[in-house]
Amino acid sequence: MMEETVFVKGVLKMTLSFEQGPIRPPSEAYSLLLRLTRNCPWNKCAFCRTYKGKSFSRRSVEEVKEDIDRVVEVSRLVGEVSQRQGYGGEVNGEVLAKIYESGQSQFYHVAFWLYHGGRTAFLQDANSLIMKTEDLLEIINYLKKRLPTVERITSYARSITLLRKEIGELAELGRAGLSRIHVGLESGSDEVLKFIDKGVTSLQHIDAGRRVKEAGISLSEYVILGMGGQRWAREHPLDTARVLNAINPDFIRLRSLTVVKGTPLHEKMVQGEFIEQSEEDVVRGEKLLIESLRDIQSSIVSDHSLNLLEEVKGKLPVDKSGMLAVIDRFLELTGRDKENFILGKRWGMYRVLDDMADSSRHARVQEAVDRLSRQGSFLDTISSLKNQII
């Protein structure tokens, strides 16, 4: 289905569109987003609100292929804008700015993807691996044929779904071009997994992760710091480390829990069934987790601004002591400086611990800490600032 496109004052106005879902991993910021399924087939995890109230559906192979054809056409139009601007088809900052002016988000998305080389694609939404292997293969092959610059194709998948595929099927997907799978491990504790209704056991997480690795596909496992709350403050990091040690994923991606209104977890919290950990205790859990990771070569990635200590990242085992040193540096701060850093980070005044050395920022944050403490609203403010980051 081709639709009319026209240039108005040198800016392309187009009605060509393709379907996209709401989220992608932070590491896929420069990827082309292609929607294979809509929403989440599980949709029960207690902490998650992304797809609540939305029903799951699969898109047909033909629909997805038509979307790929549209991306090809939009890419051609981006080149046309570049030609008209006198850049001979190159997608540079000026071309990107011109397309941004058009206010057409998908046009900009494709231009942004091309600007960054057009090398990666992410298959949405929450669990695209639920599609039949033959359908996935047809889509991946078509994607690579129509968009030959794409070198890396990645997707989210649930462990349970991965267990329903033979290792041979996963390997075939890997050979076709599926380069990386992102799995929401969340926790390695069976009690926590049950409590949050993840629909998977720690053993199943281990089996699924090992299958992905055996199939030769890169594996990212997501861990939520603080997910055990006060009740499973030790079990959560210790069991999570046990599971990660058994998988040895390529990446361990750290997230931090924020309890969002409207989720089952918030309901449990209101009813007193779940008590959040303090920021300091979450960091203590992070320390226990990293200390307990042994004999693996994973890269720890802290690519989410909700993580209090974003500088805790590196490759195991060589960077382990450096990561623990960052954590200890925070834990050894005075109570007053801990509060200063926590508010400054949540407020966006600091990114990393070193930012506290800036005396004017430190003084401004301290003034706010003292005022909020006098009003008795320090913790509420932190919680509301965290909710704004999501």
Give me the residues that bind ligand SF4 (CB under 6 A), please.
40, 42-45, 48, 50-51, 126, 158, 184
Q: How far is the CB of 46 from ligand SF4 (least distance, A)?
A: 9
Pick between residue 53 and residue 93 the one whose CB is nearest to ligand SF4: 53
Pick between residue 110 and residue 212 the one whose CB is nearest to ligand SF4: 212
Q: Which of 174, 275, 293 is nearest to 228 (CA)?
A: 275
Pick between residue 184 and residue 226 the one whose CB is nearest to ligand SF4: 184
Pick between residue 125 and residue 286 the one whose CB is nearest to ligand SF4: 125
Judge whether 46 and 229 are in contact, CB under 8 Å: no
What letter represents residue 158's amino acid? R
Judge whether 101 and 84 are in contact, CB under 8 Å: no
Pick between residue 126 and residue 306 the one whose CB is nearest to ligand SF4: 126
Judge whether 172 and 41 are in contact, CB under 8 Å: no
Q: How far is the CB of 206 from ligand SF4 (least distance, A)?
A: 18
Q: How far is the CB of 73 from ligand SF4 (least distance, A)?
A: 31
Residue 58 and residue 254: Cα distance in Å, rounded?
29
Q: How far is the CB of 184 from ligand SF4 (least distance, A)?
A: 5
Beta strand 251-256 pairing with 120-124:
unpaired
Pick between residue 25 and residue 118 the one whose CB is nearest to ligand SF4: 25
Pick between residue 43 and residue 179 the one whose CB is nearest to ligand SF4: 43
Judge whether 152 and 119 are in contact, CB under 8 Å: yes
Pick between residue 17 and residue 20 the one whose CB is nearest to ligand SF4: 20
Q: How far is the CB of 217 from ligand SF4 (least distance, A)?
A: 19
Q: How far is the CB of 22 from ligand SF4 (least distance, A)?
A: 10
Q: How far is the CB of 14 from ligand SF4 (least distance, A)?
A: 31
Q: How far is the CB of 131 from ligand SF4 (least distance, A)?
A: 16
Q: How far is the CB of 37 from ligand SF4 (least distance, A)?
A: 11
Q: Which of 203, 207, 213 is nearest to 239 (CA)?
A: 203
Pick between residue 205 and residue 362 the one whose CB is nearest to ligand SF4: 205
